[in-house]
Amino acid sequence: MSKAKLSYSELLDAFEFVSASAPMDNRAFIDRDTGKIHYVSSGFDFEEEVPDDLESSDRYVEVPHKYDLDLGRDLVLSFVKRELSDEYETVSEFFRRKGAYRRFKDFLDSRNQLERWYEYESRETEKALRLWCDENGLELTDDSSAP
């Protein structure tokens, strides 16, 4: 059986949609046969009809949330450990309260490190999504802009 094909940009859009809200609020499923992505949300009503067997058939694979791929707090802390190791305790303290990402980005901005974070986050997200595709029998048809 050949792998379903989809573009990295389509997958990234679906991943960002899923990750933009709490887990299970926004969901996306990829048809393993066609590569078509079906979107489901508790907050939006999409015009497109979704297949009845979306959640019960092996034909569809659910796009992971960023937390499923350790691309939330763990990614932030790995970046800080690697790039700003002296600030590890400061940044980890941000994640003990609400608003951690805003404080983290303000912190990086004040140290002119925000662009480095975005590059790191993009590169690590792409690696994780490509590995996820391999594990789920999906083939990406284009390359991202990341090296």
Amino acid at 137: G
The residue with greater pLDDT, 108 or 142, is 108
Report which of 119, 140, 127, 137 is spatially closest to residue 11, judged by C-alpha positions: 140
Ranges 43-47, 52-56, 100-104, 141-145: which has the least confidence: 141-145
- Tell me how many helices (H) and strands (E) the chain has: 5, 5
pLDDT (0 to 100) of residue 146 = 44
What is the percent of the chain with per-residue pLDDT over 70, rounded to a whole number?
95
Query: Residue 22: pLDDT above 90?
Result: no
DSSP code at position 85: G
In the chain, what are the domain boundaries?
A: 4-66+132-140, 73-120
Q: What is the pTM of this model?
A: 0.86
pLDDT digits over 130-139, tens only?
999 999 999 9
